[in-house]
Amino acid sequence: MNTAGRGGQPGILDGIRVLDFTAVIAGPYATRLMADLGAEVLKVEPPEGELLRHGPPFRGGVSALFSQLNSGKRCIALDLKKPAARDVILRLLPRTDVVVENFSPGVMARLGLDYATLRTHKPDLVMCSISGYGQTGPAADRPAFAPIVQAWGGYENVTLGYQPGLIKPLNMGLPVADTTAALQAHGAIMAALFHHARTGEGQFIDIAMHDALLATMHKDFQQMLNPDGRERLYGPLATRDGFVLVILLSQRHFEALADAMAQPALKKDPRFSRTAERMYWYADLINLVGDWTAVQTTAEVVACLEAVGVPVSPYRDLRAALSDPQLRHRGMITEVVDAAGPLPVPNTPMQFSATEAAVKPWVAALGQHTEEILHSLGYSEEGIAGLRSEAAIR
């Protein structure tokens, strides 16, 4: 199990300081990616902890999901509704480069911590707000969790359209809206920091899960506007003992498959002989391939097609990733340590030749760094005791 960095080089974001007001998935994943690149991320949590600290799955009373999304961040616990806690944030601002938050629109303004206010204390601040539908507009105040956004934004019905015979939308699987918004936010923050490095200027970034989700539906968007009555479905083909996925797009792959199936006449079939026609008649071709796979085992199909370079895969479960030699070669299975002990997690997928990118192997307890940070800001023991008596800190 890889528990260290990937080479000991400096991180691209070494020296960048981030104030993280985020919770659940979209915001925490964006800021964890920054921590993976070397940023010093300070997570600001309420005294009871953010929502995901209480979210399953648990081990030893600790949320494994929280630990995966928040490794490598320091933590300060503040009740931001208390004026004294707000003062702590304002003292932190001069040493902060980036603020990230994913409260509902308007919450940061009510707390007196919106961009217009913060930039008066730090004019070159980069701030990113992640929300369901954006900071302004007629839908800005709609409740916005990933399942809601995916249903509202058309994503789930697009997915349903790829499931012949089904009429009921599927249960939400992966939180695509959350993860896509996190990646868009991370990229936007990197661009804003690049702009800052060139100009010295900060700016505000508004990321909406709804927007980010729409931007992922490339072909589906155009297919909706320009329907042609035919659709390519990339799905399972039955074998004697399971299922395989076969992709046939290039001419080379198609011809290799025809030979592997001992059906060379397919190469002269006018439906399939050229790429444009093959794209249009893709379903017919895949049905023929399915007739061939149905009389063989999964292992036989995979071995045959891999030998001739045709893209093919069995359907594996996620547990197989823990022993996948390719992932281990790339250091993608690593380990962090939280209050419950060692925890296997996926590493960051970013790898660079001259700088390090890796999940930091520790997870802060709630409020673990509160006193340390307050001392660094000049608070005395009496001052810290006063904050605690006001319930402004944990």
pLDDT band at 353 (very low <50, low <70, confident <90, very high): very high
Tell me what the mean pLDDT of segment 107-117 comes to: 97
Closest CA to 246 of 313, 163, 316: 313
Out of 36, 97, 178, 211, which one is annotated catalytic? 178
Domain ranges of the chain: 17-218+321-389, 237-314
Q: Report the pLDDT value the prediction gives residue 230, as an integer from 0 to 100.
A: 73
Average pLDDT value for the chain: 95
Measure the CA–CA gap between 74 and 86, rounded to whole angstroms: 18
Q: Is the pLDDT of residue 362 over 50?
A: yes
Q: For the domain bounded by 237-314, which CATH number is listed?
A: 3.30.1540.10
CATH superfamily of 17-218+321-389: Crotonobetainyl-coa:carnitine coa-transferase; domain 1 (3.40.50.10540)
192-223: pLDDT as tens digits: 999 999 999 999 999 999 999 999 999 999 98
* Distance from C-alpha of 238 to C-alpha of 233, rounded to nearest angstrom: 14
pTM score: 0.94
Give pLDDT, residue 207. 98
Residue 204 is inside which H or E element, if any? strand 203-208
What percentage of the chain has pLDDT greater than the value 70?
A: 98
Residue 178 is a catalytic residue? yes
pLDDT interval class at 4 (50, 70, 90): very low
Find the Cα–Cα–Cα–Cα dihedral 365, 366, 368, 371, rounded to 10°. Answer: 180
pLDDT of residue 6: 61
SS (H, E, C) 320-363: HHHHCHHHHHCCCEEEEEECCEEEEEECCCCCCCCCECCCCCEC
